[in-house]
Amino acid sequence: MTKPAEKKLHDFKIEAACSRTRARAGVFNTAHGDILTPVFMPVGTLGTVKALPPKDLVEMDARIILGNTYHLYLRPGTEVIGQAGGLHKFMNWDRAILTDSGGFQVFSLAPLRKLTHAGVTFRSHIDGSEHVFTPEKVVEIQEILGSDIAMPLDECLPYPSEKDQAEKSLEITHEWIVRSIAAHKLNEQALFGIIQGGMFADLRKKSCEFMAALDLPGYAVGGLSVGEPKDVMLQTLEATTPHLPENKPRYLMGVGHPVDFFTCIELGIDMFDCVLPTRMARNGTLLTRMGRLVLKNAKYRLDFTAPDPACNCYTCKNFTRAYLRHLFMAGEILGAYLATWHNVYFSLALVREIRQSILEGNFPEFKERFLEGYSD
């Protein structure tokens, strides 16, 4: 009897591919379990997915969450997390974690930072103290955090940007990934590359070819969802994914709208993260199969139906729209908890259903049915 092949750390196996699109279903192996792709990764910026304890995320079967290097470095600090035994132990999470480089946060605070080929000098948004991020420093921080997937320092340009600016930025990003690889020593941690190049197809192709030659465990598509029109984002993504290796996972950073799951998976994306589900929940808005449901609307005051009748989450099985509206109108924190429960569950479940449709060979039909009933 032939023994099944042993899993190799950071292997990516494609289980099925859609013959009519670029969508695919796969498995990425990490030190803290298999990641079934396509996958949505809830954002836990400060070592917590806002309002949700880890046990709830396990109940939803979240296989991987995010932490933010910039924020965790500033507070509570790598010394604290290091002495706790790493981020997994610090937050009591025994499944996979991806940490981003903190580059987006540094660059979004443009008035407080200075960039050179050496790295980035910036001031803390908390207390104004000065700090320096180099590619090597960012790798060191993430190795202390002990995440399963780490992102290198890169430059994320604002939209719009001129081509000469994008070319110079790409040169720095490519220089930094080479330095990051040289500094990276934690074998259990997968260091991904990040594709940049602004909204310019030729620069995106150049970045893909450069990164692919480095043979990294996976690749992130950065620099999108930074304020550009949706059609520009999709055009840029469509020009990018064909140049990425087929046998490595592709991670689209910062995208998490329900419709975007379909359109981006259709273009070959495997992994997503976004604060949209948790942020909308805290503001009293639910993601549903029909579209957004704004709980504070007066029409829900006497609506004793489930928030989303098609949903099997804890919130929808136990509470009504009227009750959730009451919680938000009264300023009760339970409202944010229950809304977050639903939105994170909804996002995880929707991407799992998309994955199943790819495995069953009916992804285009599932997409059509979903979009017919969805309205924003």
Here the contacts of 165-172 (C-beta below 8 Å, separation 24 or greater) are 165/198, 166/196, 166/197, 166/198, 166/200, 166/203, 167/203, 169/196, 169/198, 170/196, 170/197, 170/203, 170/206, 170/207, 172/115, 172/117
Contact predicate 70/108, CB 8 Å = no
pLDDT at site 2: 54
Instruction: Write down the pLDDT at residue 320.
Output: 98
Among the residue ranges 121-135, 140-154, 238-252, 280-294, the one predicted with the least confidence is 121-135
Instruction: Report the pLDDT value the prediction gives residue 4, as an integer from 0 to 100.
Output: 54
Q: Which residues of 171-183 are buried (b: 16+ CB within 10 A; e: fewer)?
A: ebbbebbebbeeb
Name the phi and psi angles at 132, rounded to 5: -125, 125
- Give the residue-averaged pLDDT of 120-137: 92
Phi, psi angles (nearest 5°) of residue 313: -75, 165
Compute the chain's Rg from CA coordinates: 21
In the chain, which ranges are continuous DSSP H helix? 54-59, 69-74, 78-84, 87-91, 103-108, 135-145, 163-183, 201-213, 230-240, 258-266, 276-282, 314-318, 321-329, 333-360, 363-373
Mean pLDDT for the stretch of residues 202-226: 97
Residue 135 and residue 179 in contact, taking contact as beta carbons nearer than 8 Å: yes
- Which residues have a catalytic role annotated? 100, 273
Of residues 3 and 64, the one with the higher pLDDT is 64
pLDDT for the residue 7: 77
160 prior amide bond cis, ω within 30? yes
Q: Within 10 Å of residue 131's Cβ, how many Cβ atoms?
A: 15
- Residue 64 clears pLDDT 60, i.e. is over it: yes
Q: Which fold has domain 12-274?
A: TIM Barrel (3.20.20)
Question: What's the whole-model pTM score?
Answer: 0.96
Q: Residue 112: its pLDDT value, please?
A: 74
Mean local confidence (pLDDT), 311-320: 98
CB-side exposure of 297: number of CA atoms within 13 Å? Answer: 11
Q: Please tell me the distance from the alpha carbon of residue 116 to that of residue 107, in angstroms, as a whole number.
A: 12
Confidence grade of residue 1 (pLDDT, cut at 50, 70, 90): low
Distance (Å, rounded) from C-alpha 142 to C-alpha 184?
A: 10
CA-closest candidate to residue 172, choices 118, 108, 229, 114:
118
pLDDT of residue 108: 78
Q: What is the mean pLDDT of the chain?
A: 96
What is the DSSP secondary structure assignment for residue 110, as one 8-state letter? G
Q: What is the mean pLDDT of residues 202-222?
A: 98
At 206 the pLDDT is 98
Of residues 103 and 23, the one with the higher pLDDT is 23
pLDDT digits over 66-125, tens only?
999 999 999 999 999 999 999 999 999 999 999 999 888 877 765 678 899 999 999 888
Please state the separation of Cα 99 from the chain's center in Å: 10
Task: Enumerate the domain spans of the chain.
Answer: 12-274, 275-376
Q: What is residue 214's predicted lDDT score, i.e. its pLDDT? A: 98
C-beta pairs of 168-176 under 8 Å, 24+ apart in sequence: 169/196, 169/198, 170/196, 170/197, 170/203, 170/206, 170/207, 172/115, 172/117, 173/207, 174/207, 174/210, 174/211, 175/117, 176/135, 176/152
pLDDT value for 5: 59
